Structure formats: structure tokens, C-alpha cells
Amino acid sequence: MNQTTLNPNQHINRRNFLRIGLGATATGAFLGFLPKAVAETCGLTPPQTPGPFYPGDENFTADNDLTRLPGRTERALGQVVYIQGKVLGQDCGPIAGANVEIWQAAASGRYNHGRDPNPAPLDPNFRYWGETFTDNEGNYSFKTIIPGAYPAGDGWSRPPHIHVRVAKLGFEELVTQMYFKGHPLNERDLILLRVPASERDRVVVDFQPAGLGFEPNSLKGEFDLTLKSVR
């Protein structure tokens, strides 16, 4: 499946925009969005491996809806979910203009990446990756689907998860993964288990019915991300 890619000038402009730290608003706001209250503790989000299927930053487009592609009438397969949250500093203050990227497998468990050996089918209506910028209050949001589990080795299957990368001038870049609370494979995942037990809840999200203002039968979860300052 062909994905929309940035031309070279777009790529340079976008990365220059990020490097100089100019503020920007999130590229899409969903009706009914209510920002999560800042947590009482703002411990750092545990970093995790980016995995082998990062699509390359030149392929990202400023789109936070992964469920549909331009020119297509059908929606991506799978359970629709909304991910909403804040990007925060260690002082619990919101970080405006942070670049947030996500990438993931389709509902079949396959990535749109040439190195993925999974024989499961690709979804021609799924975007597979997207990005946005936080608004002045640090809010970001994505609309996507729950990815499928997939075999990762002998006797080991990775649970559904979404890869996240956050970057902002003045803060250490964060690469992590987000998991779905209650999935049975979470308890045996070799990557999630590397996160200290006391910090695991920071990357496991509880999704609940999204309610009014969202796509019918969709789910919504809140995933705050805390960055370490380099100052």
C-alpha cells in the first residue's frame, strides 16, 4: 500500500519548525474532547524500544486520523479508538508545540514495512502512522484502531501496542509504546516486562466507551507523556 509522503521541501520545513521550537496547534481536534486533569505525579514516561518498523520521519504527514485515507470511502478495519492526552514536563507543566508521532500494525497484526515478515494481509484503508503537534495546553489526540497481536518469536506473541515518539526543543526525545489494559498478552510480553512494575501503569491505558461526540461504538483512552528537560 502506498502512503502519502512529504516532498523534500516539506520535510525540511517540518523538521526546521520542530528544531526552532515554534508553537503549533494540534492538527485535528475531535468533537467532545475534554483535556485530562494533570496527574498528581509527573514521573517520566518509561522509554521503550522503537522496534524495527519505524517508517522513517520523511514519511510522516500532519494527520492524526489513521482510520481513513484520502480518496477512499471505506474505513480501516478494526475497533476504532481515540487516544487523548497531554505532553508534560517533569514540573507537570504543559509543553506546547511538541511533535507527537505514532506508528502501529493494522488490525491483522501486520506493519506496512518491508522488513515485517508477518504474512497477515495489509489493510488498504489504514494509514499505519501519523503525527500531530500539541496545542498551547499540551493536548494532543489521535483517532486510530486497536492493532492486532503478532508472533515475535518462539512461544512469544506481542500484545496490541502503539509506538510513540515525542520531540520538543529543550527536552530529551521520548520513544515509548502504549498498551491496552486487560489484554492477556500484556502479562507475558518481554518488552513490557522490562518496564519496572511500579512504572508499568504509565504505559498501559484503560479504554472505555467514547460516548457522545465520537464515532459510534468507539473507545477512548488517555495517555499522558512526560518528558525530561535537558536544561
Question: So which residues are the catalytic ones?
Answer: 111, 150, 158, 161, 163
Tens digit of each residue's pLDDT (9 = 90 or more) over 68-113: 998 899 999 999 999 999 999 999 999 999 999 999 999 999 999 9
pLDDT number for residue 153: 84
Confidence of residue 22 (pLDDT cuts 50, 70, 90): very low
Task: Decide if pLDDT at 27 tops 50.
Answer: no
Confidence of residue 41 (pLDDT cuts 50, 70, 90): low
Q: What is the pTM for the complete model shown?
A: 0.82
3-state secondary structure the chain: CCCCCCCHHHHHHHHHHHHCCCCCCCCCCCCCCCCCCCCCCCCCCCCCCCCCCCCCHHHCCCCCECCCCCCCCCCCCCCEEEEEEEEEECCCCECCCCEEEEECCCCCCCCCCCCCCCCCCCCCCCCCEEEEECCCCCEEEEEEECCCCEEEECCEEECCEEEEEEECCCECCEEEEEEECCCHHHHHCCCHHHCCHHHHHHCEECCEECCCCCCCCCEEEECCEEECECC
